[in-house]
Amino acid sequence: MDWKIKKNTKGLKGEIEVPPDKSISHRSVILGALANAKCHVSNFLFSDDCIRTLEAFRAMGIRIDQEGANITVFGKGLRGLKSPLDALCLGNSGTSMRVLSGVLAGQNFGTILIGDDSLNKRPMDRVIEPLSKMGAVIKPMEGGSHAPLKIEGKNSPLMPINYKMPMASAQVKTCVLIAGLYAQGLTSVTEPFQSRDHTERLLEYFSADIKRKGLTTEIRGLNELISKDFKIPADISSAAFFIIGCVLIEGSRIIFRNVGLNPTRVGIINVLKRMGADIEIINYESALEPVGDLNVSHSRLRGTTIEKHEIPLLIDEIPILSLAAVCATGQTVIKGINELKVKETDRVKSIVSNFKRMGIIVEEQEENLIIKGSYKTLKSDEFDSFGDHRIAMTMAIASLLSDGECVIKNTKCVDTSYPGFWEQLQQLQ
């Protein structure tokens, strides 16, 4: 499926609520299934990736009911899962693959995890290493460090470890913490930089024996999780595309409703405000996951430097933030970009390739992406999503700033995180 998009001359206007948070939707199923009773989750994201997680737990004997945009997960406790009849097929979902590895490492049955061609190329040594130190037997079936993964059953508890992560990754952190639920003793995870903390918040909410101090999180295993109901806010990573489209296109003003404003997710807002964006937070509510509305208007931006320690807090927003840098006055430097190379695609290569087709000067220098700004109009052309949802949506917004009609190829991948993106784009124009 391809998109044809013309230059926008009138601005983006309206009031929208973007889809529910993808990261929290994954974790709601996982922790709900491991808790002691049913929990009702409001506003679940039924995207391709989250459905993979949901179906994996159904295959392991967990009842999950759906009513509209809500689900009810009938938890069976840490030892309530059953051996699936077949391998668990996780499609393109890296979160499902890495986090489920932590769950399955502590089970008394064996499992095979497989992904699509893209997921099977993504590095899994980052979860294999800590899980192996905990006594799990987890092996790539085709050698190397990639899926398919075979995880053998274990009849005794895992061993607790003190794990210092070589990179800041919420997926890896979550994998180890959940494996720690199956360890006899205290497991700790220390990050080099702060990453998203949705898992820690949900574990605390479900009464896990968990403590946080600085960049270290400790969890004591073999304790029951207590089910509780909660609501998932709108995903700020999805909102980022229209936030930046609104900031860049003259005459634009959008109100975003019920956006998740977790402090470990608002890096995109902090950077944009630093660049001069007119973004106002209204109706803020402090809860399990802080939430509020955003009032965004067209603004003049200036270039900035994004430091390496900021990357984990806006890792998914770097592609669309790069577009903001293109239109900002001066130069923007994005440091510590290596993690972008092991996403659904090599996002650095994808950004550079597509931007150059638009006539943009962009360079990769070691671990830095350097973008020359001050562009008023971008060249129209045909662009490749490279099978990556965030690249497809970034180029859709970029097309609104072009000098003609653009074509975005292979956009079906957008369903992994933002079903309905195309419809909301039309709604705002």
**Pairing between β-strand 111-114 and β-strand 149-151 as defined by DSSP bridges:** antiparallel
Rounded mean pLDDT, 131-139: 96
Asked whether residue 11 falls in the same domain as residue 35, the answer is no
Whether residues 175 and 268 fall in one domain: no
Mean pLDDT of 408-414: 94
Band (pLDDT 50/70/90 cuts) for residue 1 is confident
Query: How would DSSP label each residue in 39-97?
Result: EEEES---SHHHHHHHHHHHHTT-EEEEETTEEEEE---TT-----SSPEE-TT-HHHH
pLDDT digits (tens, 9 = 90+) for 307-360: 999 999 999 999 999 999 999 999 999 999 888 877 777 889 999 999 999 999
pLDDT at 30: 98
Query: Would you call 276 helix, strand, or coil by DSSP?
Result: coil
**Backbone φ, ψ for residue 403 (5° rounding):** -95, 10
Mean pLDDT of 171-184: 97
Per-residue confidence (pLDDT) for residue 343, from 0 to 100: 74
User: What is the residue-averaged pLDDT of the chain?
Assistant: 95
pLDDT computed for residue 199 by the predictor: 98
Catalytic residues: 316
Domain that holds residue 51: 22-231
Task: Residue 241: give its domain's CATH number.
Answer: 3.65.10.10
pTM for this model (two decimals) = 0.94
- Residue 142: predicted pLDDT: 87
Instruction: Determine whether 152 is exposed, middle or buried from the number of CB atoms within 10 Å of its CB (0-12, 13-18, 19+).
Output: middle
Cα–chain center distance at 287: 21
Q: Residues with Cβ < 8 Å from 160, sequence gap 6 or more?
A: 134, 180, 183, 184, 185, 186, 187, 221
Percent of the chain whose predicted confidence (pLDDT) is above 70: 100
**pLDDT tens by residue, 143-153:** 888 999 999 99
Above 90 in pLDDT, residue 377?
Answer: no
Total domains, the chain: 2
* C-alpha to C-alpha distance for 228 and 35, rounded to whole angstroms: 9
Residues 402 and 306 in one domain: yes
Boundary of a domain, candidates 204, 231, 258? 231
Of the residues 231, 262, 296, which one is the last residue of a structural domain?
231
Q: Do 253 and 304 lie in a common domain?
A: yes
**Residues 266 and 157 placed together within one structural domain of the fold:** no
Strands 405-409 and 382-384: parallel
pLDDT interval class at 202 (50, 70, 90): very high
Distance CA 157, CA 244 (A): 47
Q: Please write the tens of the pLDDT for every residue from 277-311.
A: 999 999 999 989 999 999 999 999 999 999 999 99
Residue 310, helix vs strand vs coil? helix
Same-domain status, 316 and 219? no
Instruction: Point out the least confidently predicted range of 219-223, 289-293, 309-313, 375-379.
Output: 375-379
pLDDT (0 to 100) of residue 374 = 87
Are residues 238 and 379 part of one domain? Answer: yes
| Contact partners, residue 126, CB within 8 Å, separation at least 6 | 98, 166, 167, 169, 172
Residues 201 and 79 in one domain: yes
Q: Give me the DSSP letters along 368-396.
A: EEEEE---S-B---EEE-TT-HHHHHHHH
Whether the pLDDT of residue 272 is over 80: the answer is yes
**So what's the pLDDT on residue 37?**
96
Q: What is the pLDDT of residue 376?
A: 83
Return the SS3 of 286.
coil
Query: Using CA atoms, how far apart are residues 318 and 355, in angstroms rounded to an integer?
Result: 14
Phi, psi dihedrals of residue 392, rounded to the nearest 5°: -60, -45
pLDDT for 212? 97
* Domain boundary pick from 199, 231, 263: 231
Mark whether 248 and 351 lie in a shared domain. Answer: yes
